[in-house]
Amino acid sequence: MNINRQVLTLDEFTIKQMRDFPGATGELSSLLRDIGLAAKRVNVEVNKAGLIDILGDAGSVNIQGEEVKKLDVFANNQFTGVLKHGISCAGIASEELDDIIIFDDEVSNNSKYVCMYDPLDGSANIDVNISIGTIFAVYRRITEKGKPCGLQDFLQKGINMVAAGYIIYGSSTMLVYATRRGVNGFTLDPSIGEFTLSHPDIKCPDKGKIYSVNHGNFFQYDEKVKKYIDRCQKRTKADGGPYTQRYIGSMVADVHRNLIKGGIFMYPAITDKPKGKLRLLYECNPFAFIVEVAGGKATNGKERILDVQPTELHQRSPFFVGSKLMMEELEECMKG
Ligand code: AHM
Ligand code: MG
């Protein structure tokens, strides 16, 4: 019999990786499996989003008499639900929730990890059929096992992250996750309902030709940021250009593209939002981790993102992330 099966599923891959680590308990594999399950459920609903108009608007009652939930609330419930009922997570924080949720049951209190996520990032794009995503970060808790977790488990520096990832609900659905050992991408095969390894060991090219920024805010940017954007626009063939500007307005899609093709993504501070728009703990930090593991860099314009000590769950941060050499040029401009 010719058994020629090379494609690994997400579960097979994480279990295989765990076996290479003699001391591993399998909790991280289990947590990633839980996230994969929630992602599949969210994917089904995202694909039906266009039908919502037929079935009734969000917040109203559909033809089955059930309340139609907003997709971001639905996504939040799915991720929170799988992690609560799983065996690896002691508590969660979410963009959708003001406070952390401490699961506080016997299994959860003995779990190693806490998880933070933006369950549906770019959700303003749902109505117009543009890619959206989920972003997540996993930390080993610092509170004592056997007891409920606490806020200090969530306010850890990004450098302590154990794993981070995102799901992109796009032309196909992908789950990409990073541990310190590498970044790997899995594409959902709808015929079997499994994420399968499609992008092993992703590396971010050292340079690219794409810069992503909201040009509508240009006149609100700091002069140093404007200087870098000006350089991007003036790039010629002789110095690696011309560059192209791409900005979807869904960070997951923008950073995913730049990670694969090479590029830089920026959400600087603006006059209206002096701390920027994006959230440090579950938007900037996970992407900073993923891109750094892939060979790129991430800063807030002054400091490496992963070195920032968080003080609040929902704090915002300016964010610059991307290919190493492009980031180094940005850093040079930011020095003045
Ligand atoms: P959200 O968490 O409310 O969806 O906002 C985050 C999104 C990012 O995905 C995207 O990069 C950014 O907001 C776009 O913002 P803007 O329209 O201000 O450029
Ligand atoms: Mg968001």
Res 297 pLDDT > 60 = yes
Which of the listed residues 199, 225, 246 is the one where a domain comes to its end? 199
Strand partners, 194: 189
Q: Considering only CA atoms, which residue is closest to atom 2 of ligand 1? A: 121
CB 41 within 8 A of CB 78: yes
Does 69 score more than 80 pLDDT?
no
Confidence of residue 288 (pLDDT cuts 50, 70, 90): very high
Identify the domain boundary among 199, 231, 256. Answer: 199
Q: How far is the CA of 122 from the centre of ligand 2 (A)?
A: 6
Please report the pLDDT score of residue 303 as a whole number: 97
Please give the distance, rounded to the nearest whole angstrom, from the Cα atom of residue 10 to the centre of ligand 1. Answer: 28
pLDDT at 75 over 80: yes
Averaged over 71-76, what is the pLDDT? 91
What is the CATH classification number for the domain harbouring 16?
Answer: 3.30.540.10
In a domain, 286, yes or no: yes
Neighbours of 54 (CB within 10 A): 9
**pLDDT, tens digit, 9 for 90 and up, residues 7-61:** 899 999 998 888 887 777 889 999 999 999 999 999 999 888 767 654 445 555 5
Q: Which residue has the higher pLDDT, 63 or 209?
A: 209
The pLDDT score that the predictor gives to residue 127 is 79
Residue 2 — pLDDT band, cuts 50, 70, 90?
A: low
Contact at 8 Å (CB) between 31 and 82? no
| Residue in 301, 334, 336 with CA at minimum distance from that of residue 318 | 301
Tens digits of residue pLDDT in 166-191:
999 988 999 999 999 999 999 999 99
| Side chain identity at residue 148, one-letter code | P
Number of other CB atoms surrounding residue 11 within 10 Å: 15
Summarize pLDDT for 199-208 with one digit per residue, the tens: 999 999 999 9
Could you tell me if residue 3 is inside a domain?
no
pLDDT value at 245 more than 90: yes
234 and 286 co-located in one domain: yes
Whether 77 maps to a domain, the answer reads yes
Residue 129 has a pLDDT of 86
pLDDT at residue 124, as a whole number: 82
Please report whether residue 34 resides in a domain: yes
Q: How many residues are listed for the chain in this entry?
A: 336
Hey, whose CA ends up nearest to atom 15 of ligand 1?
A: 249
Whether 98 has a pLDDT exceeding 50, the answer reads yes
Q: Is the CB of 71 under 6 A from ligand 1?
A: no
Whether residue 192 is predicted with pLDDT greater than 80 in this model: the reply is yes
| Number of separate domains in the chain | 2
Q: How far is the CA of 255 from the centre of ligand 1 (A)?
A: 12
Give the whole-angstrom CA distance, residue 111 versus residue 96.
23
Distance 259 CA to ligand 1 centre (A): 18
- What pLDDT does residue 128 have? 85
Residues ≥6 apart with Cβ < 8 Å to 325 = 206, 207
pTM of the model: 0.94
Q: Say if ligand 1 is within 6 A of residue 218 CB.
A: no
Answer whether residue 205 is part of any domain. no
**Whether the predicted pLDDT of 287 surpasses 60:** yes
Alpha carbon nearest to ligand 1 atom 17, residue: 249
Taking 60 as the threshold, does the pLDDT of residue 217 lie above it?
A: yes
Residue 55: its pLDDT value, please? 43
Query: Containing domain of residue 46, as a range?
Result: 10-199
Q: Is 122 in the pocket of ligand 1 (CB under 6 A)?
A: yes
Residue 125 alpha carbon to ligand 1 centre in Å: 9
How confident is the model over 105-139, as pLDDT tens digits? 999 999 999 999 999 999 888 878 899 999 999 99
Q: Rounded mean pLDDT of 229-246?
A: 96
For position 56, what pLDDT does the model report?
42
- Residue 1 located in a structural domain: no
- What tens digit of pLDDT does each residue of 154-169 get? 999 999 999 999 999 9
Comparing CA positions, the residue from 267, 245, 270 lying closest to residue 258 is 245
pLDDT score, position 54: 44
Whether residue 131 is found in the same domain as residue 218: no
Q: Does residue 270 form part of some domain?
A: yes
Probe ligand 1: pick from 250, 264, 270, 279, max atoms within 8 Å of CB?
250
Looking at the structure, tell me whether residues 45 and 188 fall in a common domain. yes
Mean pLDDT over residues 92-103, rounded? 96
171 and 282 housed in the same domain: no
